[in-house]
Amino acid sequence: MKILANKTNLYNNTEFLQKTAKKINYLEGVGFNIAITKDNQFVVFSPISNNEATVQTINNKNLKELTHLDLLTLNDILIFYQERKTTNKIFLNLLPSAITITSEESLEALKNNNENYIKYLLKTLEPYKDLNLYLGSINTTLVKLLTEQNIPWKKGIVLFGGNLNYMDVDFYVFGTEILSAEIFSQQLRLNKEVIVYVGDANDLSITYEFFKGETSTALANSIFNDIMFLNDYPDLFFKIFQR
């Protein structure tokens, strides 16, 4: 069983880092949502009530103006894991800038923002080449820009919701609405890595039925241990699936 513990709680920064730095037999690594500030700093975004509005606030404020959100910076977490010489996987979900396309000018602004995002991301990551980073996004433009870079980390795309854009990358993150043993098996045979995102109780139930339940197929069951599960409730997931 391979679990990536997703950082979702806004207030457990120290506890989360200390726990995930320890050796836990089922813990393959961790996951963080990353957003960029107005002054090109990257912060860990823990989902709250209005995600889009909060990302937009982060995009439009300098880091020093965001102290009320009790944010971890990307440097905070990378320094923490590097000092402990962790070999665990660290998945960074790159949240794109919240810009609405209404004109050619806004389209050009979005293009510039995406290029700026990758430029400053790689500058931030430069000191951490020894970390086992997985860089992915639902934004195909960000992923394409990443694939054009000669970097030592894995590059991937997040495929859930309305995003079914396939790209040739190192790994794929699937939502539970796109569970397919045939697709997963095909990607694994191509030496791609497959991650399934389990975000809530409904996702947990769907995932269990697909891989272990009465409706599970032999193929789904056989590839279970080859897939990683990005999980908002890693301890509960482990208890349920170890039965």
pLDDT given at position 234: 92
**191 Rama class: left (phi>0) / alpha (psi -120 to 50) / beta:** left
Is pLDDT above 80 for 103? no
How confident is the prediction for the chain on average, in pLDDT?
89
Locate 19 and state its tokens.
């726990």
- Residues 6 or more apart whose CB falls under 8 angstroms from that of 22 comprise none
pTM (2 d.p.): 0.93
The percentage of the chain sitting over the pLDDT mark of 90, rounded to a whole number, equals 65
